[in-house]
Amino acid sequence: MKKILKIVLVTVIVIAALAGVYTAVANLTFYFSVKDNIYGLDNIPDDDSYDAIVVLGCGLKKDGSPSDMLYDRIMTGVKVAEKNPSAKLIMSGDHHSRNGSYDEVGQMKLYAVNAGIDESRIICDGYGLCTYDTFARLAEQYDFRKIVAVTQRYHLNRSVYTAKSFGFECDGVAADPRSYQFVWANWCRDFIAVDKYFITLKTRPEPIMGYALSPDQEK
C-alpha cells in the first residue's frame, strides 16, 4: 500500500510540475510576443493609421449599466478613437446569448455616442462572447489590417496575442484609470486562460456563434 501511495504521490508531483512548466512557457510566450505593443492611458498611440479600435466587453451591472471595468474600457476606447479619427470603433460583447435581454453592446455604443463619438463610426458585434470569438470573427468579416485592442492590463497579453495570431497588426491600450476590487482574481484567471488559448489558437475551432454577422453588425 505504501508503495502504491508513493507512486501516486510521485505521479501527482510530476504532473503538477509539467503543468506548471507548460503554464509558465505559455504565459512567457504571450508576454514577450506583445510586450512592445502595450500602451497606457498616458501614451495612447495617435498616428491615425489604425483601421479599427476593438473594445472588449466584460459585463453589465444588475441595473443594466456597464460594470466599472466595462465603463473604463468604453471611455478608454473613446480616447483612442479621438486620437485616431479615421478608425472604426468596434464594440464586441454579449447581446444574443441570453435571449436578447442582455444588451452589453447596446450600452457600450450608447456610452460612446454620449461621449461624443459619431454613431456612424461604431460597429456593434453582439456575438463577441469571448476574446477568441471576437478576433476570429473580425478576421473573417472585415479587411482591417492594423487595430487596437482596449481592455484592462491583466487581459491585454492574451488579447493582443490572439489578434496577432489572426494576422492583425495589433497594439493594446490598458484601460486602468483606477484600481478594482479583487483584480488579483482576474490576473489569476487570465494566467490560467492562456493555457487554453495556447492550444486553441493552433486548433482554430469555429466561434460559438459561427462566423455570420450578428444582427448588430447588419444594422
Q: What is the pLDDT along the chain (219 residues), one digit of tens a residue?
A: 777 787 778 788 888 888 888 888 889 999 999 999 999 999 998 888 999 999 999 999 989 899 999 999 999 999 999 999 999 999 999 886 555 578 899 999 999 999 999 999 999 999 999 999 999 999 999 999 999 999 999 999 999 999 999 999 999 999 999 999 899 999 999 999 999 999 999 999 999 989 888 877 755
**What is the amino acid identity at position 5?**
L
pTM of the complete model beyond 0.75: yes
Cα gap 139→141, rounded to integer Å: 6
Distance from C-alpha of 27 to C-alpha of 67, rounded to nearest angstrom: 27
What is d(CA 43, CA 174) in angstroms, rounded to the nearest whole number? 10
| Contact present, 55 and 77 (Cβ < 8 Å) | yes
Length of the chain: 219
How many Å apart are CA 140 and CA 137, to the nearest integer?
5
Residue 115: DSSP 8-state: T
Per the CB < 8 A criterion, the answer to whether 141 and 211 are in contact is yes
User: According to the model, what pLDDT value does residue 148 have?
Assistant: 98
CB-CB contact of 93 with 158 (8 Å) = no
CA atoms within 13 A on the CB side of 27: 15
Helices (H), the chain: 2-34, 68-83, 104-114, 131-141, 153-165, 183-203, 215-218
